[in-house]
Structure 1
Amino acid sequence: MIDFHSHLDLYPNAPSLLPRVAKQNIFTLVVSTSPRAWLATSRVFAGYPNIKVALGLHPEIAVAKAAEMDLLVGLVAQAEFIGEIGLDGSPRFKHSLALQRRILDVVLAECERVGGRVMSLHSRGAADQVLDALEAHPKAGTPVFHWFSGTKKQLRRAVDQGAWFSVGPSMVASEKGRQLVSEMPAANVLLETDGPFATKADGTPWFPWETGQAAQALCDLWRMPVERVRAQLVSNLKTIVPGLSTADGIE
């Protein structure tokens, strides 16, 4: 399986999960919520070549972590992946949108300066604003919208900008989510869980090796057998992370 957006470091028993995640997943992207968290998690998770830790500053905690903005920018050159970054315009967080946008702009500008990065993006309630920021920084790299929840018009705009998307079991559990996924280019889709924040019906978190339900939904939406869906997803992964090889567990 592939999990391109996991908060693996925030599971209560994260270190004990690492061997199983590394064994069962061909690739896992662990997104961080702050630069200091990235530094700590990168040390703890070292030694697993198919588990990568992305440098981020989550928009939900932009106010609390604003003092880490300079650290964030200073670490971009060292980071292979960037995430979770973006904007959150939902009622609870829209008061800090101006600050969120300043942080996003400086990160995108630094990504441009260092040659571009693969970026896992949060865009709840602010898809157009995130797309505006990406348009202002066209060489920032490859944007991957995690759990995209905008309108179909916003989705088409993202597709036109060359964006990618990571979709998970919780997203495809809703009719709106399935409709959005059905309009995403198959060649630009990856799997995610967003665990431990995204949970199953019983309230337990999705684990990184449990993206199979999302893959099954893709079988229905793409009208493909599971083998072809898996091949498509692995092909997508190799495209967006070209440095991966059979040595990293990808067949």
Structure 2
Amino acid sequence: MIDFHCHLDLYPEALRLLPEVSRRNLFTLVVSTSPRAWQATSRVFAGYDNVRVALGLHPEIFEKKQSERELLLENVRNTQFIGEVGLDGSRRFVGTLELQERLLDEVLAECAVHGGKFISLHSRGAATRVLDLIESHRDCGVPVLHWFSGTPKELRRAVDLGCWFSVGPAMVQAEKGRRLFAEMPLNRVLPETDGPFAARNGIPWMPWEAISISDAASELFGRSADDVARTFEDNLRRVLKHSEKPLDFMRAQESAQRDLPF
């Protein structure tokens, strides 16, 4: 099981959940909302090789956290995982879009300087502008568009630019999300939850539930759910093959998962 975009640090009783997430999931990417949150979460989540904490500054809180801009840029060199970063052009945040864009340009430039990163990107209401910046920094690493909600034309451009996508159960519950998912190359998709913000009947999706998108993928792509789940695991291996740490933990997790009673 894989969750390539969640806010595990913001779940109630996150420290109690952490060992269970590590045990159940092959890999979990915990995206942070600010550089200081990344520093704190990295310390308290240390010791779980298959749970990685990404350095981020969420565009929704960028205006309040501008003082952490330098801390973000200075630490790009210190991690291979960046997120959540990006642009939000929705009505509530469009007033800071130019400032957001300036920061994302700087972040992607730093990623390119330091050898490429895995970058979990927010692009709500601003997909074209995010894609423009990715195109300007082709050496930034692996851009992973989280919960992509752009147009079909923007999706095709993202595919042509080599972007990956993280898709969650909340996304595939909506008709637009399902239509976009159906147009994505399945060999560039990874499951996500975006929990605890994404919830079902008020209950956050748990990181081990991201794999439930296999059912929607099975229907949309005409493949068995088991085959889809294996594809996601293969995708994870491909996207992380250049990670700074060996992926031995993946083999250990596969062995542990075979012993689970569920």
TM-score (norm 2): 0.93
**What is the RMSD computed on CA atoms of the aligned residues?**
1.0
Deviation at 1:59, TM superposition (A): 0.4
State the distance in 2 between where 1:21 and 1:92 align.
33
Residue 236, structure 1, aligned to residue 235, structure 2: yes
Structure 2 counterparts to residues 102-113 of structure 1, below 5 A: 102-113=102-113
Structure 2 counterparts to residues 87-106 of structure 1, below 5 A: 87-106=87-106
* Secondary structure of residue in 2 paired with 1:28: strand
State the distance in 2 between where 1:78 and 1:186 align.
31
Residue 196, structure 1, aligned to residue 196, structure 2: yes
Q: Aligned residue for 2:23?
A: 23
Contact 1:112 1:141 in 2 (8 A): yes
Deviation at 1:250, TM superposition (A): 4.1
State the distance in 2 between where 1:215 and 1:249 align.
20
State the distance in 2 between where 1:80 and 1:15 align.
23
State the distance in 2 between where 1:137 and 1:248 align.
35
Contact 2:80 2:116 in 1 (8 A): no
The one-letter code matched in structure 1 to 2:247 is L
Contact 2:2 2:211 in 1 (8 A): no
Q: Aligned residue for 1:39?
A: 39
* Secondary structure of residue in 1 paired with 2:105: helix
Contact 1:50 1:248 in 2 (8 A): no
Structure 2: unaligned runs, 5 residues or longer: 256-262
Q: Aligned residue for 1:177?
A: 177
Structure 1: unaligned runs, 5 residues or longer: none
Give the % identical residues: 58
Residue 119, structure 1, aligned to residue 114, structure 2: no
The one-letter code matched in structure 1 to 2:146 is H
* Secondary structure of residue in 1 paired with 2:82: strand
* Superposed CA offset, 1:75-134 (max 9, x none): 011112000000000000000001101110111110011011010000000000000111
Structure 2 counterparts to residues 111-190 of structure 1, below 5 A: 111-190=111-190
The one-letter code matched in structure 2 to 1:106 is E
Q: Aligned residue for 2:260?
A: none
State the distance in 1 between where 2:179 and 2:62 align.
31
How many equivalent residue pairs? Answer: 250
TM-score (norm 1): 0.97
Q: Aligned residue for 2:12?
A: 12
* Superposed CA offset, 1:115-158 (max 9, x none): 11010000000000000111111111110000000000000000
Q: Aligned residue for 2:258?
A: none
State the distance in 2 between where 1:103 and 1:17 align.
33
Deviation at 1:213, TM superposition (A): 2.5
* Superposed CA offset, 1:161-216 (max 9, x none): 0000000000000111011000000110000000000010x111111011232121
Deviation at 1:248, TM superposition (A): 4.7
Contact 1:35 1:55 in 2 (8 A): yes
Q: Aligned residue for 1:218?
A: 217
